[in-house]
A and B are shown apart, each in its own frame.
Chain A
Amino acid sequence: MPMDAEILLNVNNVEVVYNRTIQVLRGLSLRVPKGEIVALLGSNGAGKSTTLKAVSNLLELEDGAVTAGHIEFDGTDLASLTPHGLVRRGLFHVMEGRRIFEDLTVEENLTAATFSLSGRGLPITPFDLVYSYFPRLYERRKGLAGYLSGGEQQMLAIGRALISKPKLILLDEPSLGLSPKLVEEIFTIIARINREQGVSMLLVEQNAAVAFSVASYGYIMEMGKVVIDGPVERLVKDQDVQEFYLGLGGGGAHKSYRDVKHYKRRKRWLS
């Protein structure tokens, strides 16, 4: 991790336990420098979404708790903040599965997000910025959000984040359930928002290739902790990352499933 950049989010040795019995995070540490996109990858159940919920203080709703370690955002410890208080400090969590309010219109969904500006002395601006990134939302602004297509719903979810004028956006699997073409479109806009608005992002993805296309630094987690991390240029050259997360064979070419010999090579950090 480059030390010269200012650190916006610092997750230090965090452990999370659900229902007081099930440990999901086991000493996870990661950092997001200001203005950058950091990718967090890993297989199902590795604890990626839990990490994001620990950061945005939404664990409580699911009977989870941070039992060790600490999380700092923009210089303040997060433990004492309420979830909505955190949003109002500029940390916006775009949750997995988009979680749009289906029986509200597109415009009302954006209005709901304006509560993130309360108590910050920020004026509620018109939704022009959101509509300039997502013109399709403007066309459908009076319609119920539940009738939007999956891609449009993802746009709305990111649009709501933009409303809050965030410093950091936590993005949980924006590619979930979308066609490859839409994934490309969404990620192009994500990269543009990061560049033009200077918003930092912590991006959780299953689709490593697309995450690496926008991120500058990557963490890969297994079983509740980070196993590999490094700048994206280095990660894409790593043989293990190539094989287990990018689906490339040793030679860099896409493998045919016919040739896969399972367990030929084990993830060496699991043994």
Chain B
Amino acid sequence: MDWLYVTEVALAGLGAGALYALTGVAFVLIYKATRVVNLAIGEILMLGGYVFFGLVAGAGLSIWAAIPLTILAGAALGAVVERALIRPMLGESPISVFMVTIGLGSILAGVVELGWGADPLRLPEFIPNTPIFLGEAYLAPKVAYGALVAALLIAGAVIALRFSRGGVALRATARDQGAAYSMGIDVGRVFSLSWMAACATAAGAGVIVGAIGGISPTMGIFGLSVLVVVIVGGLDSVAGALVGGLLIGLVEALAGSFLGGEYKLLATFSLLILILMVRPYGIFGTHEIERL
């Protein structure tokens, strides 16, 4: 067996896994604060890619202006979705809220297809493309820089959750909503801010994912892998999203290059079933997981 090749595939897998982890963190943020399983996360990511494309190719903005604007657009989308679709569903059964997010995903995919057409598009090049070697192993520069940015963002999220006052408010709300109210925490604002942060993260991830593999209205499929990631890691665990993301990225890459592309999903979902049989609430999840 060619170990250099295996290392290269594994590195590429971990790089892709970092983006799964980043999007997984966005998913976990929403689940933690509001107990909503947001199946539209892949479509929000896709929309981020298209907004970036529109700002650069359509409006002619420079890339470094378009990135922060895309992230802001993501935050704005999060605020609107939470306020208009999720807040009114408070107290309804989890399955209804879950269906709302599925509907939202389809709407977003449809809107993007109406606006930009169904054909895949390439984002303008902006990531440096000097080849990167770790030892002897080659790593695609886009994947490497994408993973680096993802790692920085995840570290930022972890630090904010652990050490900031807002992080305390979010964890308190996640634990016990009534008690959070009684502390003077504005629970509605926690909901709104966590949706904004999560959708901004997903939109940012969309720019990176799009830069690596191009954008298309079916890019929301990415969300399916993210769903596997967070179920494996535990729906409410940031650490779980991180470990799950890297694990799924690795498994997908290895299965894809040694068994063939069609085995990717087969391998990840088999892994999902295996892990759920041993730990039904994910690797790091807390026991009382919402039944869907």
Q: Chain B residues near A58 (CB, 8 Å)? A: 178, 181-182
Asked if B181 and A112 make an inter-chain contact with CB atoms under 8 angstroms apart, the answer reads no
Q: Chain A residues near B176 (CB, 8 Å)? A: 99, 101
Asked whether B10 is an interface residue with its Cβ less than 8 Å from the other chain, the reply is no
User: Known: A101-B172, A103-B171, A112-B172. Is A88-B184 also a contact (CB below 8 A)?
Assistant: yes
Cβ of A164 to closest chain B Cβ, rounded Å? 6
Asked whether A175 is an interface residue with its Cβ less than 8 Å from the other chain, the reply is no
Partner of B177, one of A61, A114, A118: A61
B161-192 CB contacts (< 8 Å) to partner A = 165, 168-169, 171-172, 175-187
What CA separation (Å) do A101 and B185 show in the bound complex? 13
Cβ of B197 to closest chain A Cβ, rounded Å? 18
Residue in B181, B183, B186 with the greatest tally of chain A CB atoms within 10 Å:
B183
Asked if B181 and A84 make an inter-chain contact with CB atoms under 8 angstroms apart, the answer reads yes
Asked if A95 and B179 make an inter-chain contact with CB atoms under 8 angstroms apart, the answer reads yes
What CA separation (Å) do A58 and B171 show in the bound complex? 20
Asked whether A106 is an interface residue with its Cβ less than 8 Å from the other chain, the reply is no
Q: Interface size of B by Cβ–Cβ distance < 8 Å?
A: 18
Asked whether A249 is an interface residue with its Cβ less than 8 Å from the other chain, the reply is no
Asked if A114 and B175 make an inter-chain contact with CB atoms under 8 angstroms apart, the answer reads no
Asked if B175 and A108 make an inter-chain contact with CB atoms under 8 angstroms apart, the answer reads no
When C-beta atoms are compared, the residue in chain A nearest to B180 turns out to be: A112
Partner of A108, one of B171, B177, B184: B171
What CA separation (Å) do A95 and B168 show in the bound complex? 19
| Chain B contact surface mostly | helix
Q: Chain A residues near B168 (CB, 8 Å)? A: 104, 108, 111-112
A226-264 CB contacts (< 8 Å) to partner B = none
B130-182 CB contacts (< 8 Å) to partner A = 165, 168-169, 171-172, 175-182
A38-84 CB contacts (< 8 Å) to partner B = 56, 58, 61, 82-84
A92-124 CB contacts (< 8 Å) to partner B = 92-95, 99-104, 108-109, 111-118
What CA separation (Å) do A94 and B175 show in the bound complex? 16
Q: Chain A residues near B177 (CB, 8 Å)? A: 61
What CA separation (Å) do A8 and B200 show in the bound complex? 45
What CA separation (Å) do A56 and B182 show in the bound complex? 8
Q: Chain A residues near B169 (CB, 8 Å)? A: 112, 115
Asked if B165 and A111 make an inter-chain contact with CB atoms under 8 angstroms apart, the answer reads yes
Asked whether A9 is an interface residue with its Cβ less than 8 Å from the other chain, the reply is no
Asked whether A160 is an interface residue with its Cβ less than 8 Å from the other chain, the reply is yes
Asked whether A16 is an interface residue with its Cβ less than 8 Å from the other chain, the reply is no
Q: Chain B residues near A83 (CB, 8 Å)? A: 181-182
B55-108 CB contacts (< 8 Å) to partner A = none
Residue in A82, A108, A109, A112 with the greatest tally of chain B CB atoms within 10 Å:
A112
Cβ of B168 to closest chain A Cβ, rounded Å? 5
Asked if B175 and A115 make an inter-chain contact with CB atoms under 8 angstroms apart, the answer reads no
Proximity bits, B10-49, A CB within 8 Å = 1, else 0 = 0000000000000000000000000000000000000000
Q: Chain B residues near A82 (CB, 8 Å)? A: 186
Asked whether A87 is an interface residue with its Cβ less than 8 Å from the other chain, the reply is yes
Q: Chain B residues near A92 (CB, 8 Å)? A: 182
Given A101-B172, A104-B171, A112-B185, 12 more A-B residue pairs with CB atoms under 8 Å apart are A58-B182, A87-B182, A95-B178, A99-B179, A101-B179, A102-B175, A104-B168, A108-B172, A112-B183, A115-B165, A115-B185, A117-B184
Query: Sorted from nearest, which 3 A-B pairs have the closest CB atoms?
Result: A116-B184, A87-B184, A99-B179
Would you give 23 A-B contacts (Cβ < 8 Å), ordered by A?
A: A61-B177, A83-B182, A84-B181, A84-B183, A84-B187, A87-B181, A87-B184, A95-B179, A99-B176, A99-B178, A99-B179, A99-B182, A101-B172, A101-B176, A104-B172, A108-B168, A111-B165, A112-B169, A112-B172, A112-B183, A113-B184, A115-B184, A164-B184
